[in-house]
């Protein structure tokens, strides 16, 4: 079993990285080589803006290359609860932003001919308890009436037509969800940006940002110093670098994934006939899908802990046991990959994007980042050119996370709370 991301291990090598030192001047410097930064660099480069991207490690090597491979419509929260919190019109706007985000991913894949196994498959939220179906039915009614008619309620009696398990009790199908190979997509974004003139530096961790006279910036990295007219911070949950203002406003939460050995076509057809994206209705639930080479990817919170090799291995054991409970036919199936990653969670689970102290930023995707990060890369290119209204998250306040310094020690308590909620409800 490899303690490594399946997406990163099976991705092609990025061969177009910039060589030599980081130096000179760029119209825009992007800090972070995940989907937000790569999408922004690609969009800016196609507009003939000189752009330099600085990545501390490997392109798409963190959240963008360590997730569950789902690219879904729909907000992270229950839509009715979100509407009650921010108002119906604002909630509609946020929901439609996620629809636009999936469309952006597909448009980029098509326009730049990125070979990443992109396919529209739909997302099925499965009721993990019989009483959870009633809540899904109420959500269906609100969504269908207010914002999305391309959804379907799967009655409990029809569950087996969607997934070969008796552990679920109906579901809610949102048809516009998609999936793709995250590693191939990340490398494809980087190669396309480089072809259009972007300079992309891997292993170039930023150690200092300094605002100069006239509003320009001096960015110091481990590979050199560069000056820029504008800077986009696209670091997600990264704890590296002199970016404490952003780090204090998110709680990095570990999420863990295992991937099985390849499964037979017959078995996959019986268990997952439509090859959708799947999530369960529990607070500490699971998400899963079939990979392009017929493996089952199975993920979840597993343990409320940070990601490191030892923690990932422990979480993998929890996930393997969960998988066998839901799908007894897969008991004893070999696990080939196990890894963890960090989710950049905001308090209200809504993204944040805008400008702070002159620095542009977009992050805080809260577990729904594949589509929104890619979309926001394009959006932030518009924002940096003066079109602030393109940013759907521009009006949201962003206070620090309470007790931020103690977040590592609080994670097990948070996990215990949600486990109790799953037992009681």
pLDDT in tens, 345-397: 899 999 999 999 999 999 999 999 999 999 999 999 999 999 999 999 999 99
Q: What pLDDT score does 52 carry?
A: 98
216-275 pLDDT, tens digit each: 999 999 999 999 999 999 999 888 889 999 999 998 888 899 999 999 999 999 999 999
Burial class from Cβ neighbours inside 10 Å (0-12, 13-18, 19+) for residue 78 reads: middle
Q: What pLDDT score does 342 carry?
A: 87
Q: Work out the end-to-end distance of the chain between its first and last CA atoms, rounded to an integer number of angstroms.
A: 35
CA distance 288 to 280: 9
Say yes or no: domain 6-411 is CATH 3.50.50.60: yes
- Please indicate, yes or no, whether the overall pTM of this predicted structure exceeds 0.85: yes
CA atoms within 13 A on the CB side of 15: 2
CA distance 150 to 143: 9
Residue from 253, 303, 304, 299 nearest 279 by CA: 299
Residue from 35, 18, 34, 36 nearest 26 by CA: 18
Going by the DSSP 8-state scheme, the letter that residue 97 receives in this structure is H
Q: What pLDDT score does 223 carry?
A: 98
Q: What pLDDT score does 418 carry?
A: 45
Q: Which residues of the chain have pLDDT under 50?
A: 413-415, 417-418
Domain positions in the chain? 6-411
Q: What pLDDT score does 241 carry?
A: 87
DSSP 176-197: T-EE--HHHHHHHHHHHHHHTT
CA distance 361 to 30: 9
Q: What pLDDT score does 374 carry?
A: 98
């Amino acid at each position: 079993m490899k303690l490594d991301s399946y997406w990163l291990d099976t991705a092609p090598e990025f061969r177009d990285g910039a060589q030599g030192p980081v130096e000179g001047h760029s119209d825009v410097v992007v800090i972070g080589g995940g989907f937000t930064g790569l999408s922004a660099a690609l969009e800016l480069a196609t507009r003939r803006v000189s752009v330099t991207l600085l990545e501390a490690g490997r392109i798409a090597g963190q959240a963008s290359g360590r997730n569950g491979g789902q690219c879904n419509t729909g907000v992270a929260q229950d839509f009715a609860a979100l509407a009650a919190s921010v108002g119906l019109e604002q909630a509609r706007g946020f929901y439609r932003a996620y629809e636009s985000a999936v469309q952006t991913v597909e448009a980029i894949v098509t326009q730049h001919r990125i070979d990443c196994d992109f396919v529209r498959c739909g997302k099925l939220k499965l009721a993990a308890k019989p009483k959870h179906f009633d809540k899904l039915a109420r959500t269906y009614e609100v969504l269908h009436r207010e914002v999305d008619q391309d959804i379907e309620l799967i009655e409990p009696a029809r569950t087996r037509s969607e997934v070969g398990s008796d552990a679920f009790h109906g579901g809610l199908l949102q048809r516009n969800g998609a999936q793709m190979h995250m590693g191939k997509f990340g490398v494809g974004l980087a190669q396309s940006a480089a072809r259009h003139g972007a300079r992309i530096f891997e292993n170039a961790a930023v150690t200092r940002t300094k605002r100069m006279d006239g509003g320009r910036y001096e960015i110091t990295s481990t590979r050199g110093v560069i000056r820029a007219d504008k800077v986009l911070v696209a670091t997600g949950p990264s704890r590296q670098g002199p970016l404490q203002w952003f780090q204090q406003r998110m709680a990095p939460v570990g999420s863990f994934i295992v991937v099985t050995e390849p499964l037979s076509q017959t078995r996959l057809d019986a268990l997952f006939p439509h090859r959708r994206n799947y999530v369960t209705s529990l607070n500490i639930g699971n998400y899963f899908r079939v990979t392009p080479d017929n493996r089952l990817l199975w993920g979840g919170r597993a343990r409320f802990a940070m990601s490191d090799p030892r923690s990932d291995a422990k979480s993998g054991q929890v996930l393997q046991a969960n998988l066998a409970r839901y799908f007894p036919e897969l008991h004893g199936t070999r696990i080939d990959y196990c890894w963890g990653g960090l989710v950049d969670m905001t308090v209200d689970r809504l993204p944040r994007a805008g400008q702070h102290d002159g620095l542009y930023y977009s992050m805080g995707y809260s577990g729904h980042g594949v589509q929104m990060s890619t979309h926001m890369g394009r959006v932030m290119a518009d924002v940096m050119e003066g079109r602030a209204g393109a940013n759907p998250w521009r009006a949201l306040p962003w206070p620090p996370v309470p007790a931020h310094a103690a977040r590592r020690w609080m994670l097990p308590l948070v996990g215990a709370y949600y486990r109790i909620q799953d037992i009681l409800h």
